[in-house]
Structure 1
Amino acid sequence: MSGWVDQVFCEDALQGMARIPDGSIDLILTDPPYNLGKDYGNASDQQSVEAYLAWTEQWIDAVLPKLKPNGSLYIFLTWRFAPEIFVMLKKRMAMMNEIIWDRRVPSMGGSVRSFSSVHDTIGFFVNRKDYYFDLDAVRIPYDAETKKARSRSIFIGAKWLEVGYNPKDVWSVSRLHREHPERADHPTQKPVEIIERMVKASCPVGGVVLDPFMGSGTTAIAARQAGRHFTGFELNPAYCDIIQERLAAPEVPVAGKAAKKRRSAAKSALADEETV
């Protein structure tokens, strides 16, 4: 895998995808341009509807052959184009979830002619029924009050009470405000917390995550911190510099000793793999 793994290539994904061998990727995780007119240093987010959907179908057909038979794909989308793109993907894969990311936008301002949009849509797709999925890696612990309420003998030894519950399909995680310690100079940067959940659930330790649109590099950061490999592309040279700076910096802070312990174990497993 040398030469393309743990690398972010500063080039157009469609031109560089030949670098990635077919059937080599465990997880495709991507946040492509939404075509809402944002400035990414190029015109990638400023296409006509027809051109945007045609381009989307083109890159989807380029990346899917890179996925392993038991691999998965997560894609961030806006509600404006999610229906059309979900249909594209349903023709090629099985859809497992539509996840709603509640960005926790403050209740202020917004449109006066429609309801304020405060979420992103995430599609979770798989190739076949035996896809890799590690629920235990992303369970959410029950709080002390809930455990106490379930302290009757009937619940003693119940695995679900000890390991936590399955994250629902609405993820309430704050967007990265300007003063957030994770924040880089990128207009649509996603929190590591969200990306890391996908990586841990849908890519085995030592596996490879592909992101065709790296942006600020959050997929690479999350993959490395979780003990996975990464590869991907970014068209804007300024964002490529941000990615390298983030990869060279200390890891993003995590909450709690348990999370730190899990990351340490994942890194050790990856190090053992690399010495074999």
Structure 2
Amino acid sequence: MTTQLALDTPRIDHADALTWLADQPPECARAVIYDPPYAVGSPVRGRDDGAAGSVAGPFGFLHRTLELSSHTLTPGGIVVIFADWRRMPDLAYIASMVGLRAATQVAWVRSRPGTGGLMRSAWDPILVAARGTADAIDRAAIPNVVHADYPSRRRHPYEKPSTVYQHILARVVRPGDLVLDPFAGSGSSAVAATAVGGVWRGCDIDPAYASAGLEAASRPAT
């Protein structure tokens, strides 16, 4: 069973994701929101430990944090993996290496396209990977497409609308289930987790965004 935490409100810690995930009890969470710094052209956490001017460090970081995320899941729990089309194949492979199974992929579609050369980006993939078989609440015909635009005033450069998280979490999170977010940023995933009756905990390495996340957690879903 999911560990029940006596928390009246969502909690966000100022911490490094690696340390924070390692401190979580095994099999404590029904879902992990996994939205890391997945670019490989710039250092992770301000450190370039790659060879010959490349940044190889992020791949080790992604592998370890996904491995720790898997360790926190209850059987049937899920990791909701965010990345762009360039990095998703790498993350899908890493997920399989740490014992997670691809359950589905969601297309997050936006009406306001972003940047792009050949074409402007108007959607991103979201991989839902499970520990074993995803424990869906029911067999309702829920599409694997969610339509939601970025907030008009983002508190974090990579803030996602809470409806994107809620579309997925509503399939597996039951009242009292724990949802973890080791890259919490603005804290918008807390809105979705609490909306479906879950208990949310997150962390962020930047203390400024940790404070923003605490504020966001009390706002209604948009």
TM range (shorter): 0.7 to 0.9
Higher normalized strand content (fraction of residues): 2
TM-superposed CA distance for 1:43, in Å, is 3.2
Q: Return closer, same or farther for 1:50/1:233 CA change in 2, 3 Å cut-off.
A: same
Report the TM-score, using the length of structure 2 for normalisation: 0.84
Unaligned runs of 5+ in 1: 140-165, 255-276
Match of 1:97 among 96, 104, 107: 104
Report the TM-score, using the length of structure 1 for normalisation: 0.68
Match of 1:168 among 127, 143, 154: 143
| C-alpha distance in structure 2 between counterparts of 1:220 and 1:79, whole Å | 25
Q: Percent identity?
A: 25
TM-superposed CA distance for 1:57, in Å, is 0.4
Name the residue aligned to 2:194.
Answer: 224
Q: Secondary structure at the match of 1:202?
A: coil
Name the residue aligned to 1:69.
Answer: 75
Q: Return closer, same or farther for 1:241/1:235 CA change in 2, 3 Å cut-off.
A: same
TM-superposed CA distance for 1:78, in Å, is 0.9
Q: Return closer, same or farther for 1:239/1:82 CA change in 2, 3 Å cut-off.
A: same
Give the structure with higher Rg (CA).
Answer: 1
Q: Return closer, same or farther for 1:253/1:66 CA change in 2, 3 Å cut-off.
A: closer
1:10–1:235 Cα contact (<8 Å) kept: yes
Q: Secondary structure at the match of 1:201?
A: coil
Q: Return closer, same or farther for 1:191/1:39 CA change in 2, 3 Å cut-off.
A: farther
TM-superposed CA distance for 1:94, in Å, is 1.4
Name the residue aligned to 1:198.
Answer: 168
Higher normalized helix content (fraction of residues): 1
The count of residues paired between Structure 1 and Structure 2 equals 214
TM-superposed CA distance for 1:110, in Å, is 4.1
State yes or no: 1:126 paired with 2:110: no
2:193–2:200 Cα contact (<8 Å) kept: yes
TM superposition outliers: structure 1 runs of 4+ over 6 Å: 36-40
1:31–1:77 Cα contact (<8 Å) kept: yes
Name the residue aligned to 1:27.
Answer: 31
